[in-house]
Amino acid sequence: MTSFEQFTVRFYSWASSDLEREMRSGFPLLMGIPDLATRRFIQHLTGLSSQAKACLASGLVKRFHVNAVHLLNDPITNAEAAAIKGYLDSDISICEIPRHVPRRGIQQLLEDEFLNQLPGVKVEWDRSTGVAVTRVGLVIIETTFDLESSADRLAYKHRIIARGWSFDLISVLSWMGIAFGTTWSEASDARQIVPGFRAVYMHFMDALPGLLGNE
């Protein structure tokens, strides 16, 4: 395998274990992300058996790790496909969402209580979009946090730039297969956003050296 393929396989394996850990431990990361996608996922799991939960989790992660699934010849099974369809077709209760969370308040809290405390991380802002750049060995990690959409409050993604390859659109809900991106769309104020973002950022950064291997 190429170094990129090795990373995708390690990332898939880790993501599978990470979602299992999250479910087993009471959703410590997901509970810090007030959003329709996380609420739907947790609500749907409530009525499932342990076997059905495991089947859904396996299928969701496979859905977002197509390259690794292909390399490992580990396609989505019929049972996993049915579990995913049941999940996507499930109803979700209506949540009263505050109309506005000031962007400046989110940005200020991000800087004061998290970003300014990160050693060796350079942060640049272009209006309401920030990019934090750090390194793990020779690999560059760009983390973009977007405050442009008042509906989403905060959205973020990581991009890994290694020798000869890059991997984009990484976020906690995408690596777990729950949603294509991660937002805090149902947060009522900045203090519902920053601790959750800090937790998922540090969680991924702690795992990254092992995921990168010898890069």
Instruction: Please report the pLDDT score of residue 29 as a whole number.
Output: 97
Chain centroid offset of residue 37 CA: 11
CA dihedral 13, 17, 19, 24 (to 10 degrees): 170
Six token digits for residue 3: 């170094």
Within 13 A of 74's CA, how many CA atoms are on the CB side?
Answer: 18
d(CA 201, CA 205) in angstroms, rounded, equals 6
Domain ranges in the chain?
3-88, 103-212
Tell me if the pTM is above 0.85.
yes
Look at the block and give the residue holding tokens 């979009």.
Answer: 129
Each residue's pLDDT expressed in tens, for the chain with a length of 215 residues: 899 999 999 999 999 999 999 999 999 999 999 998 999 999 999 889 999 999 999 999 999 999 999 999 999 999 999 999 999 988 776 666 555 666 777 888 888 989 888 888 888 888 888 899 999 889 999 999 888 665 557 889 999 999 999 999 999 999 999 999 999 988 888 888 899 999 999 999 999 999 998 65
**CA 41 to chain CA mean position, Å:** 13
